[in-house]
Amino acid sequence: MTERTSKPEPGGAPLPPPSIGGESVTSTDGFDLEHEAPHYPSAEIVGSSQPLAVGLTEGPPVVGAGLVGAGGKSRVGDRVFSGLTTGSAGFIILLVVLIATFLLIKAVPSILDDKDNFFTSTNWSPEAGNLHFGIASLLWVTVIISIVAMVIAVPIAVAVALFITQYAPRRIARPVAYILDLLAAIPSIVYGVWGAFTLTTALEPVQRVLSHIPIPIFNLEHATGTIFDGAVVLAVMVLPIITAISRDVFERTPRANIEAALALGATKWEMIRIAVLPYGRAGVVSGSMLGLGRALGETIAVYLIVSTVSPPFKFSIFTGGSTFASQIANGAAEFNNPQSTGAYIAAGLVLFVLTFVVNSAARAIVNRKKDFV
């Protein structure tokens, strides 16, 4: 038992050395701790007050590693592969530029000969020598049918992605994900036939109910073959794209974020709201934009489902119309002279620019989050 000593008075004698059982700890079996130190083989001891025994400087580069081989010469295989990848990227850029140039060259003469305003007119009569056409109605139908499709598809896609990644057991999540992936493999014409002969009839009561909403966009002009019918089919078509991207993003949510939310007492939904959804927001938005690009350019399904209408044009989703793509497909028989063909190519040029802007916006959103770069 250690003997306690009192604190020395100022100017007094120093305290005696500590002792255990009446014996001083300053010496043990003749070994004086104050005057002798153990002897060890000479070695550099690493401690807080001594330099590091192992340096942190990087060693010399490994010979032959990287693009430069032994002797300072670049490897032939690396140079060939680098050239192929650079050439492929350059070819894609060149291809886009050539397509844009072709559309401009073919469309500008017809736009200059147009008797109506190309951007504000709703007429479409591209007769040779008497051109009267504009993109106002085509732009409206193309944009509104795609937006309605996104309003339907995005919430369902996010909910399905959350079910697969957060709620469903693995034995159920895999089959559901596999079935969703199969939807992307169904050809557009199959969706079009299904929508034209089955879905339009089933959606007729829904349109009549929604037509009671006192908003001009819900005015009932037609019961079948409407923009709403086409939007529902487009929503089914883009659903696999948005779901797949959202699922991949939600699965990459850091486990530490999830466990931290649960450790703070969050419920399952609160954990998803504060950890999973904020992390995957950029992925969901980019997936939605890519799905929107698919919807903007869809041709066959819209051509088979949405009925064409003649002026006057109505700003309603319960009426027919034509998108850029369906109008071009519908007028393919009129490609018999440069002026008429130029009118349809001008519509294709606007669709090209619109799709390019949408995909560029999606890319910009993705680049804002480093996790997806």
Range of the domain at 168: 136-323+357-372
> φ, ψ for residue 23 (rounded to 5)?
-110, 140
Question: Taking residues 257-261, what's their average pLDDT?
Answer: 91
Distance CA(230)–CA(172), nearest Å, equals 31
- Tell me how far CA of residue 285 lies from CA of 125, 201, 290, 366, in angstroms: 38, 32, 9, 8
Give the amino acid at 314: K
Q: Please give the mean pLDDT across all residues of the chain.
A: 81
pLDDT of residue 29: 47
| 297 in a structural domain | yes
Percentages helix, strand, coil for the chain (3-state, rounded to 5) are 60, 5, 35
Q: Enter the DSSP assignment of 368.
A: T
Q: Which residues contact 267 (CB under 8 A, 6 or more apart)?
A: none
Residue 163, in any domain of the structure: yes
Is residue 229 included in any domain, yes or no? yes
Q: Is the pLDDT of residue 15 over 60?
A: no
Domain total in the chain: 1
Q: Measure the CA–CA gap between 219 and 207, rounded to whole angstroms.
A: 9
Does a structural domain hold residue 174? yes
What is the percent of the chain with per-residue pLDDT over 70, rounded to a whole number?
78
Q: Whole-model pTM?
A: 0.74
Residue 75, domain member (yes or no): no
* 208 domain residue, yes or no: yes
Q: Which residue has the tokens 């492929």?
A: 88
Domain membership flag for residue 160 = yes
Q: Among 22-31, 201-210, 255-264, 285-294, where is mean pLDDT lowest?
A: 22-31
Would you say residue 346 lies in a domain?
no
Q: Which helix (H) or strand (E) holds 24?
A: strand 23-24
Q: What is the CATH number of the domain that holds 367?
A: 1.10.3720.10
